[in-house]
Structure 1
Amino acid sequence: MQEAAEPGAVRAPLKPAGPNPAANPRLMRRIIAEDPEWSLAIVPPLADLCIQHIVGNFERNPILEPLLPEHKRKVLELLPPSLPLAVTANLIGDEGYWRRCCGQRWPVCRVSSYGASWKRLFFERHLESVLTRFIPGTSDPGLVTALLPLCRAYVRRLSLDQLLPPVRPDAPGPDDDGDASDSGSEDSRDEPARDHLDLGEVVAGLDRLEELHLVYGVRDCGMNFEWNLFLFTHRDCRSLAGALQACRTLKVLKLTRSKVTDEKARILVHSLLDHPALEELDLAHNLIGDRGARAVAKLLNHSRLRALDLGNNRMRAPGAQALAHALARNATLTSLNLRLNCIEDEGGQALAHALQTNNTLVALHLGGNELSEPTATLLSQVLSVNTTLTRINLSCNHIGPDGGKQLLEGMTDNKTVVEFDLRLSEVGQESEYLLGQHLKANQEAARLQALLPGSAWPFS
């Protein structure tokens, strides 16, 4: 609203300050926002822009250590799990990042089995995946040699449930003997074309390796089954023996389902004599007989073995007698598993005699060994004097009712055995029931003992 002019006042005409924009369209300025919702309040801070730049260029220029803790945490949260291991292996120790890497690769991850370390879980399973898919003569060995320096500080255990043989250069012709390829003869096992991955270089590159689980065979071969897919050749044996001898940190060796014969067992055992760290040896489900058992018995006297598993082999009484002779003088072994052999009473009685002097063995498994009453009679004497055995398995034998009564008599004075498996041993229902009552009493006594200050379970 214009103010009223005072009487007598002269109003000066208004002069334009410049050209009228409406008169000249070329002088008009139009401001059009590219983003109608833009405002100064949503401009990202410079620190966030720098973090985004670091993440986007991390593979070419990894920057992490110089950052402030809060910025470092943000970078680790934004880094993609697909970055090359050559960049992240020795630079990133954050467990959250490796947890995301594991979750991307495997739907089920039990980190408790890997020392509660996600980084260890990733590198162990990644290396296992590479080695179990490696085909000699076809796969690039450089993939393994490049990976070993990245894994050596984190891999404690390798569990290879298959090792692939080389691809056969040509398929059998129509004139070939079809049985020859499935015979698994020594000549075919020694063919260089059937040798598996040489584990010597792998083990040498893992200076913290403590456990090695191996199966020389092919998993899920289906209709492509051939006996040659399940051969542990002499070259494989010699290369593995050299690797074991050089790996002074190894505590557990499991070589199962690999057709290990007496001769190959002797080669492997010779490499383990006087091993400074080996505590557990598992050679179950192989072809080891008495000669191989004698070699293992020698190992008992020259090592610190705590657990030995020779289950499901071809051992008979002489092999069991050799083990019993070593067991009588051994002071470290706590678990002995000889199930599914055929040691019979002659071997069972020898082991029972050894247990009358041995004071370290805690668990004994003799299931499926053609044992009968004579062995039960001697074991009943062991039960009355031995104070270290807590678990005994005599299942699938021919103990019989009289043998069951003998064992029951021995258990009368025993206060330590808490597990006694006599299934399918023909001992009779009454003996099974009374033995069960004694076991319950021993278990309750052990439970009460464990509740006392400073005590531990006797069967832990």
Structure 2
Amino acid sequence: MTHITVTAAAGPGNTRRIITEDPSWSLSVIPPLSALSLQHIVSNYGNNPILEKLLPKHKTKVLDLISTSLPLHVTANLITYEGYWRRCCSERWPICDISHYGSSWKRLFFERHLENLIERFIPDLTHTGPICEAAELSKDYVKRLEIRQLLPPVRLEKKEDEVEEISDSESDAGGELPSMDHFDLNLIALSLCGLEELHLVYGVKGCGMNFEWNLFRFTKRDCSTLAATFKTFRNLKVFRLHRSKVDDEKVRVLIRSLLDHPSLVHLDLSHNQISDRGARAVGKLLNQSQLQILNLCNNNVRPHGAQAIAYALSKNNNLSSLNLRLNRIGDEGGQALCNALLQNTSLVTLHLGSNELSEPTVTVLSQVLSQNTSLRSVSLSSNRIGLDGGKQLLEGMSENRTVVEFDLRLTDVGQESEFFINQVLRTNQERARLRAQQKQVSPP
């Protein structure tokens, strides 16, 4: 409640003057004209984005106050101030790590915004316009897309009598088919010519009790449309398609489109259904590309597929990492790969865990360890190596000067062999540390 006092003033008429007792009242609380102008600019920025003509201190103040809900077509190309995009990101996502986005808040916002739109797209139910518009506005900022789910069309349940009436001719004509099985990246490919990384999963997150196998299906139509995007994504360096039931037929279609790709260096097809025919296609890609990292973890590659990859590896001097964990290459495939490493001089990391390997493979690998000077990391975990195999590995490692990581978990090589192998590893690690120090000290 405001307290007032009434004071009798001197003079004719006995005029009274009322004075408010508000200790916080002051003429200084009246905002200056510049502040009023800035408030007007902030409240009307969406209709009249005045920014470049302002003084630097006024420009920063406006950017700190304007709403983060303004349309992207207004803010995308006009605002480069990182503080504004940081506010946009923090309000939408509780966890934001810009180290994965080139230390740019603006790039983080546009990449995650576009990813969210694509992940929520349902064919023939969601309009493609907002995604195409967002892609066009994002073209200068999006370098990587990590799509964690792609939703299939909504299948409406039909009555039994309606299902029986559907004829083969109608099915062939495509009258009952959706326009696309999952979101078609060709719709935005031209806007994202500078894309460098693409990670895809053709499946649904958190389907819960609504689980159906149809929710996890990479169709032939998906495959052909995805393969077509590689003609546009010529700057793509990393391509990852995993947990999508990619089989031999589909991987051959994809590889055919990647054979002449100028930029691809990292291919991840892990957790799929690729077997020997698909592995042969991958081997052909190794012969005709600049691929440096290949991940075929958890597929169905058997000896013949491993032999095809081994043949390519023996002639390849670009690949630095090969992951074949959780396949079935057996000793026949394992020996082929190890023989290839007697000629290969580029591979640094080799993962052959859980591949039904045993002593015959280790016999050749021991020779590789004593001769190869490029390998730094080897994994044979969860294979039946045995005590004799452990002794052969120790014999090879005793002459090795470069391997600094060797995973022998669940191989039954014996404590003695494992102990002495670890001693060699520690020596190699110290040697590698000293080399790294010398490189830092010595002038370029």
The alignment's TM-score, normalised by the length of structure 1, stands at 0.87
* Residues in 2 aligned to 1:358 and 1:172: alpha-carbon distance in whole angstroms: 61
Q: Partner of 1:313: helix, strand, or coil?
A: coil
Query: Contact conserved, 2:306 with 2:336, CA < 8 A, in 1?
Result: yes
For 1:307, which of 264, 289, 293 is the aligned residue? 293
Equivalent residue, structure 2, for 1:419 = 405
Match of 1:201 among 157, 163, 187: 187
**86, 89, 99: which one aligns with 1:102:** 89
Q: 1:158 to 1:43 in 2, by over 3 A?
A: same
CA distance in 1, matches of 2:28, 2:57: 22
Report the CA distance shift for 1:37/1:414 in structure 2 as closer, same or farther (over 3 A). Answer: closer
Distance in 2 of aligned mates of 1:207 and 1:31: 72
| Letter in structure 2 aligned against 1:96 | G
CA–CA separation in structure 1 for the residues paired with 2:196 and 2:179: 30
- The residue aligned with 1:136 is 123
Q: Which residue of 1 aligns with 2:219?
A: 233
Tell me which residue corresponds to 1:153: 140
Which residues of 2 match residues 215-254 of structure 1 at below 5 A?
A: 215-254=201-240
98, 102, 108: which one pairs with 1:111? 98
Q: Deviations over 1:204-258 (max 9, x none)?
A: 2212210000000000000000011111010100000000222101000000000
8 A contact 2:335–2:360 mirrored in 1: yes
How far the C-alpha of 1:137 sits from its partner, in A, is 0.6
Which of 368, 371, 391 is equivalent to 2:377?
391
Q: How does 1:42-441 map to 2 (within 5 A)?
A: 42-170=29-157, 192=178, 195-441=181-427
Q: Distance in 2 between matches of 1:234 and 1:204?
A: 22
Letter in 1 for 2:230: L
Secondary structure of residue in 2 paired with 1:452: helix
Deviations 1:99-158 (A, max 9, x none): 111110111111111111000011111111111001011111111111111111111110
- 8 Å Cα contact 1:124-1:158 kept in structure 2: yes
1:202, CA displacement in angstroms?
A: 2.2
Cα drift, residue 448 of structure 1 = 1.4
Larger radius of gyration: 1
Three-state SS of the structure 2 residue aligned to 1:158 is strand
Please give the alpha-carbon distance, in whole angstroms, between the structure 2 residues aligned to 1:204 and 1:265. 24
When residues 232 and 89 of structure 1 are mapped into structure 2, their CA distance, relative to the original with a 3 A threshold, is same
Aligned partners of 1:166 and 1:193 also within 8 Å: no
Partners of 2:219 and 2:233 in 1: how far apart?
Answer: 21
**Shift, 1:53, TM fit:** 0.5
Percent identical among aligned pairs is 61
Note the C-alpha offset of 1:192.
4.4
| Number of equivalent positions | 422
TM-score under structure 2 normalisation? 0.90
Find the residue that maps to 1:254 and give its secondary structure: strand
* Conserved 8 A contact 2:153-2:178: no
What is the identity, as a one-letter code, of the residue corresponding to 1:105? R
Q: Cα offset for 1:455?
A: 7.6
Letter aligned with residue 34 of structure 2: A
Q: Deviations over 1:277-310 (max 9, x none)?
A: 0010000000101110000100001111110000
Distance 1:343 1:105, change over 3 A: same
| Residues 348-367 of structure 1, C-alpha deviations (whole Å, 9 max, x = no match) | 00001100010000000000
Cα distance change, pair 275–168 in 1 and its aligned pair in 2 (3 A): same
Q: What is the rounded CA distance, in whole Å, between the counterparts of 1:259 and 1:128 in structure 2?
A: 22
CA contact (8 A) 2:193 2:232 kept: no
* Preserved contact between residue 153 and residue 207 of structure 1 (Cα < 8 Å): no
Once the 2 structures are TM-superposed, how far is the Cα of residue 199 of structure 1 from its aligned partner? 1.0
